[in-house]
Amino acid sequence: MKLSSCLLILPALCSGLAVSANSPSKGSGTVVYSAVNAEGSRQLWSRADVSPPKYPVEMAKNGWVGCGVFKVSIDAEGKTGDVNVLSAIPVNHQIRPAVKVIKGWRWTAADGQTAQPAQQLVRLDFCMANAAPEQVQAACEVQAKYPCQ
């Protein structure tokens, strides 16, 4: 097979990868999801899929770590609409691939709440290290307690 043919096939293969950020060169990666409530406000929606969010492929390939706080619009059917980055570490352009991940989320009305359009704040912490997945998860949960500004 010619090199030019391989170069055309490689992106197609890579785009289908499910990333858990467990590449040998980068170590283990994890994402911690947190709902952010203003004091006294109630949570109207919860993520329908309770499994940990996927590490965005572009961020994992580049070894980008940090956190982001996002304002998510949710319609009455639980579909994600607009997603805006409110703050991010290290910088917004590196966290932008997370917006694509969030846009694919579905939501269910929180216990005792009526399904209605709303905006919700969420925080994602992206952690990667040359350590066992359990150690990375534990470190990421500690990171999620610090401000993301």
Q: Which tens digits make up the pLDDT trace of 87-133? A: 999 877 788 899 999 999 999 998 888 889 999 999 999 998 888 88
Give the per-residue pLDDT at 1: 39
Give the per-residue pLDDT at 32: 86
Per-residue pLDDT tens over the stretch 55-71: 888 888 888 899 999 99
Q: For the whole model, what pTM was predicted?
A: 0.74
Q: Once rounded to an integer, what is the mean pLDDT over residues 26-40?
A: 74
Q: Kindly report the average pLDDT of the chain as a whole number.
A: 78
Predicted confidence band of residue 78 (pLDDT cuts 50, 70, 90):
very high
Q: Once rounded to an integer, what is the mean pLDDT over residues 26-50?
A: 78
Give the per-residue pLDDT at 19: 35
- Per DSSP, the residues of the chain read --HHHHHHHHHHHHHTPPP-S--TTT-EEEEEEEEE--TT----EEES--SPPPPPHHHHHHT--EEEEEEEEE-TTSBEEEEEEEEEES-HHHHHHHHHHHHT-BEEEPTT-----EEEEEEEEEEEESS-HHHHHHHHHHHTTS---
